[in-house]
Amino acid sequence: MVQVNYGLQRLSVEDIASIAINKSPVTLNNKPEYRKNIEAGSAFLDRVLADDGVVYGVTTGYGDSCTVTVPLNLVDELPHNLVKYHGCGMGRYFDASSARAIVATRLNSLAQGYSGVTWGLLKQLELILNHDIMPVIPEEGSVGASGDLTPLSYVASVLLGEREAFYKGQKRPTADIFKELNITPIRLKPKEGLAIMNGTAVMTGIACLAFKRAEYVAKLSARITSFVSWASKGNSHHFDEILFSVKPHAGQQKVATWIREDLNQHDHSRNSHRLQDRYSIRCAPHVIGCLMDALPWFRSLIENELNSANDNPIIDPKGEYILHGGHFYGGHIAMAMDTMKTSVANLADLTDRQMALLMDPKFNHGLPANLSADISDQKPINHGFKAVQIAISAWTAEALKNTMPASVFSRSTECHNQDKVSMGTIAARDCIRVLELTEQVCAASLLACVQASYIAIEHQGMDLADTHPEMFSMYQDVRSFFDPVITDRPLEGVLRETLGYIREQRWELY
């Protein structure tokens, strides 16, 4: 397990995914000069307060209330009030993995050294990550500028020993967990409530997880295309190297190479007598390639946000400046997530069309209707994957419905102070939902492909062993937990099992 180091280098989406999924340990840069820089920001703010300086959110109210002066005797209570009144989230709760991604992301922003927080606050975030005490965070309530205020208040509350946290698979009062582990809750310094809450950590942490899932779904869609082409006796020339050299989108070319090598790594003329397959097979590299070519752009936007100081105000400890701005605005993540969810939903739509071809004897080139493998006298009453194909279409339709861009639905909020907001967190949540549905489409389609391959092997004498060894190995692995459907039976259990394997990224793809 790789340890993730804060304050030493830029973090990647893989770093956040490793913390979130594998519970990789984290550590703060322990070099004296790094800690000195962190403490300089907090010390500078202390001097400003001692000189009766005016700092937004420290000696003033928040948002539209910035014209309200906070007396010095109430300054220490202000951040705690901020945490309290933002405890109004609703909807489902982010699971523990998502919460780890969110906390890990917030720590990295504060670790940039421009937020005026104390070393003790960073250490408390490090502590809850390494003890896996994760805040219970409602998904709904953020407009994505002034940052993820409401959901991040649940992160702040856990540092204070308040509200609830996930610990060892259970949701419990944070105070009880801290008492059990002898952890001391912290008190927030005047700027620290804003520093934790006024940023983009929820949408960015979720975007990191979405990136890794989208990357895997793209590869899985390519492998499913290979199975569909093989089982329906497709023309492998559609993935020819020369053909793709004249339209040089790198991601598209990569997908064509994957499918070409899957189908026949030595012989590139399989079923070339059939001039043209339908678009959902012939154009699969072009559809999947759109996502593959967008991934580097998504990574750039997500990782820049991940490695930024994105609260307000920004504290420059070296020049001793207090800079008021709008770095909490989540527009880049909103754009990435709105675009990603559209690209992913296109893969669901592609696979749905492939399954429609695979089930239909008018288009599947010799396979039985609905992939029913029954050849006995019970054949008339068995329907194979008929209902599964309907379910695939339902999941696809829902995924497509969720592609409406969230970023264009800005709402003026908070007395028209927040009059243009990003909706980045809603976009990220939408993207996760589209990924969930697309993974369901892929799970069902993978089983259908294995069913089709079984029929082609057992009933038509085809030999899957002449494909790429990894493709043949994947078929054998799926067969280890999935018995082909001969007599109709409920498939929910194996569908859920397959979905779990996809989300675990069980198969090494390309």
Check residue 79 and give its pLDDT.
86
Does 9 share its domain with 81?
yes
> Any catalytic annotation for residue 56?
yes
Residue-range definition of the domain harbouring residue 283: 213-294+344-504
Domain boundary among 173, 199, 225: 199
Beta-carbon neighbour count of residue 267 at 10 Å?
Answer: 9
Domain boundary among 149, 170, 199: 199
Check residue 49 and give its pLDDT.
80
**Closest by Cα among 343, 339, 240 to 288:** 343
pLDDT per position as a tens digit, 295-352: 999 999 999 999 999 999 999 999 999 999 999 999 999 999 999 999 999 999 999 9
Q: Whole-angstrom Cα distance, residue 173 to residue 430?
A: 29
Contact (CB, 8 A) for 4 and 14 = no
Check residue 66 and give its pLDDT.
66
The token pair at 264 is 């026949």
- Annotated catalytic residue: which of 6, 34, 56, 167? 56
Is residue 331 assigned to a domain? Answer: no
Q: Whole-angstrom Cα distance, residue 122 to residue 89?
A: 24
Q: What's the CATH code of the domain at 78? A: 1.10.275.10
Is residue 403 assigned to a domain? Answer: yes
Is residue 328 assigned to a domain? Answer: no
The token pair at 229 is 């082409």
Does 45 share its domain with 170?
yes
Does 88 share its domain with 144?
yes
Does 167 share its domain with 77?
yes
Does 136 share its domain with 244?
no
Q: Do the strands 164-167 and 134-135 form a parallel or antiparallel pair, or are they unpaired?
A: antiparallel
Q: Whole-angstrom Cα distance, residue 366 to residue 457?
A: 12
Does 29 share its domain with 88?
yes
Is residue 364 assigned to a domain? Answer: yes
Check residue 500 and give its pLDDT.
98
Check residue 34 and give its pLDDT.
96
Phi and psi based region of residue 495 (left: phi greater than 0; alpha: psi -120 to 50; beta: remaining): alpha
DSSP string, 193-249: HHHHHSSSHHHHHHHHHHHHHHHHHHHHHHHHHHHHHHHTT--GGGG-HHHHHTS--
Enumerate residue ranges in the chain where pLDDT < 50. none
**Closest by Cα among 224, 213, 191 to 312:** 191
Is residue 300 assigned to a domain? Answer: no
- The SS3 assignment for 12 reads coil
Is residue 322 assigned to a domain? Answer: no
Is residue 207 assigned to a domain? Answer: no
Does 490 share its domain with 378?
yes
Does 437 share its domain with 290?
yes
- The DSSP symbol for 482 reads -
Does 125 share its domain with 231?
no
The total number of structural domains in the chain stands at: 2
Does 79 share its domain with 102?
yes
Does 435 share its domain with 477?
yes
Domain boundary among 143, 175, 199: 199
Contact (CB, 8 A) for 228 and 176 = no
Is residue 372 assigned to a domain? Answer: yes
Q: What's the CATH code of the domain at 406? A: 1.20.200.10
Check residue 77 and give its pLDDT.
87
Does 49 share its domain with 87?
yes
pLDDT per position as a tens digit, 372-425: 999 999 999 999 999 999 999 999 999 999 999 999 998 888 778 788 899 999
**Closest by Cα among 301, 93, 340, 317 to 200:** 301
